[in-house]
Amino acid sequence: MVASNIPSFKLSTDVIPLQCTGAYALMDSLCRHGVKHIFGYPGGAILPIYDELYRFEAKGELQHILVRHEQGAAHAADGYARATGKVGVCFATSGPGATNLVTGIATAHMDSIPMVIITGQVSRAAIGSDAFQETDIYGITLPIVKHSYVARHARDIAWIIAEAFYIASTGRPGPVLVDIPKDVGLEQCEYVPVNPGAVKLSGYRPTVKGNPRQINAALELIASAKKPLLYAGGGAILSNAHAQIQELAQRFQLPVTTTLMGLGAFDEHNPLSVGMLGMHGTAYANFAVSECDLLIAVGARFDDRVTGKLDEFASSAKVIHIDIDPAEVGKVRRPEVPIVGDVRQVLEQILQRARELDLPTRDTLTQDWLAKIDTWKQNYPLEVPHPHDALSPQEVIVEVGNQAPNAYYTTDVGQHQMWAAQFLKTGPHRWISSAGLGTMGYGLPAAMGAKVAVPDEEVICISGDASFQMNLQELATLAQYNIKAKIVIINNGWQGMVRQWQETFYGERYSSSNMEVGMPNFALLATAFGVKGMVVHHRSELSDAIAEMLAHDGPVLLDVHVKRDENCYPMVAPGKSNSQMLGLPKQK
């Protein structure tokens, strides 16, 4: 909806309004909401805001990171939000600046990432006249934001920003757009600050506590299931429910699988972990979901890349579905026990109820089920090939993970993303990947945002040679601000996942998927931008090169040339059930 002129909270009567511009009201409001970093790119319509930003930066109140393309700003704000759980913020000007954000906004929307996007707009009198660099970014982004505003008056900015942060970060998180005409940024107003916590929106009351009756029903199913499976999605990460998932799994001896978004919600070194499920999930996770008698879905949306053939997905199981978004519960699979609420709080309710009833911890009820899963783990392990004439992508990722086990990892999209998901064992918020939209070009700017957010942590981007070329200009941003992220390119000369599908399903007709002609020398390219560039061709070089990369006090790009035609397995073919996987290891 377009912002009205009626504040959604009660103004304090003892606050003396400050006479200032709309741009000042914006910058002060952002600081009041804890913003320390903004990713953006200036332009004509947003110059009044950048002029005020200059003053705020001079006072040391925040830092602006100048990206080289607005899409990089959106992805960096997204990576910042995923690494911290806080709201990421980005700026862009009107017209092409705003439209360049669209892919990043859609990425955040699909993965429920809290962001506030500020766009400049032509002056109010020029709106609708096809003025220079005018686009209706409000209308363009309506399907891919949680909410939108157009600031019609400078006096409205304080409460618009307060509402935007509240909406972006509560309930099911998501991106919120605030479009500010140029003359609104220049307009003088009586500014009354609005602090976090002051907003009360009628009609917007996210349910966070589960219904007690449904809690009891869920607990009854969990306590009696012989072949249960806990299925954790991105909502488990967003709600910080990893401790509750750990306790629930241990108490009731539940094997745990995660989605791509849910990686890190459960310790994959734990014997109860079965890793990721779905199209490129582990065989044992996919077999488990195909045979379980109870599926406990927490913060997961039954994505098609997870379910495979839907009518055969957990077809023998009763389903408990816990999600804060009521629109997701029952959207794809109708659950026996639907619970709307915050994942962490609902799981805590279940655990508390189990304590009240003094339910014993289980050692025997799921014993046979866990033994069967262990057999699958032994028979169908994830394999790391070691071809005699080339490096395999898997061994590169395993070596990076061994040397940097506690790093924050971002990825681009494709085969390297799936191998990273299979072999890296990460913690909560340390896996940062475009899951729902599958955005190539996401990895580098997301790593940039994550490293700005957690400067004392190791941040590594796993990319592919095709994906990296989508936003390689952000090497300049790394160099300008000495953002010490590391980039590992899994270089096979192809759009790897496209090539794999063309090989498997399109008769080996490799249409427009080879990237060798025109591919730059990535190490030299990095050097040209002022970033340390390295290259690896042979297995004997790999370990030392990774160690050198990690030891370097600055950004590094490591270009690793790998086997050209390696495929990512296991793989559930389109239209097949999860139990029908291609590329399973041959049984001895």
Is 27 catalytic? The answer is no
Rounded mean pLDDT of 89-112?
98
Residue 541 is among the residues annotated as catalytic for this protein: no
What pLDDT, on the 0 to 100 scale, is given for residue 360?
76
**pLDDT of res. 12:** 46
Average pLDDT over residues 378-403: 97
Residue 15 pLDDT: 63
Q: Find the catalytic residue in 261, 276, 279, 497.
A: 497
Q: Which of 247, 300, 241, 246 is nearest to 276 (CA)?
A: 300
Q: Is the pLDDT of residue 90 over 90?
A: yes
Per-residue pLDDT, 16: 74
Hey, which of 12-16, 232-236, 581-585 has the most confident mean pLDDT?
232-236
| Backbone dihedral angles phi then psi of residue 186, each to the nearest 5 degrees | -90, -20
* 522 is an active site residue: no
Q: What is the DSSP string of 503-534?
A: HHHSTT---S-B--TT---HHHHHHHHTSEEE
Residue 359 is predicted with a pLDDT of 83
Look at residue 6 in the predicted model and tell me its pLDDT.
Answer: 42
Tell me the three state secondary structure of residue 541.
Answer: helix
Can 1 be counted among the known catalytic residues? no
Spot the catalytic one: 27, 52, 70, 451.
70
Give the pLDDT band of residue 364 (cuts 50, 70, 90).
confident
- Alpha carbon 302 to its chain centroid, in Å, reads 17
Question: Per-residue pLDDT for 363 more than 90?
Answer: no
Sign of the four-CA dihedral 312, 313, 319, 324: negative
Catalytic choice (63, 133, 345, 480):
133
Tens-place pLDDT, residues 301-314: 999 999 999 999 99
121 is catalytic: no
CA dihedral 518, 521, 525, 531 (to 10 degrees): 150
Q: For residues 18, 20, 23 and 28, what is the CA-based torsion angle, rounded to 10 degrees? A: -30
**pLDDT at position 127 over 90:** yes
Name the pLDDT band for 362 (thresholds 50, 70, 90).
confident
Residue 121 confidence (pLDDT) above 60: yes
Average pLDDT over residues 436-457: 98
**Cα atoms found within 13 Å of the Cα of residue 344, Cβ hemisphere only:** 12
pLDDT mean across residues, the chain: 95
CB 136 within 8 A of CB 106: no
Range scoring the smallest mean pLDDT among 3-7, 70-74, 466-470: 3-7
pTM for the predicted model, two decimal places: 0.96
Question: Residue 511 — pLDDT band, cuts 50, 70, 90?
Answer: very high
Spatial distance between the Cα atoms of 355 and 358, rounded to a whole number of angstroms: 5
Which of the following is catalytic: 115, 134, 163, 182?
A: 182
* Tens of pLDDT, residues 313-332: 999 999 999 999 999 999 99
pLDDT at 5: 41
Question: Is the per-residue pLDDT at 561 higher than 90?
Answer: yes
Residue 172 has pLDDT above 80, yes or no: yes
Looking from the CA of 321 toward its CB, the CA atoms found within 13 Å total: 21
Among 3-12, 486-495, 560-569, the minimum mean pLDDT is found in 3-12
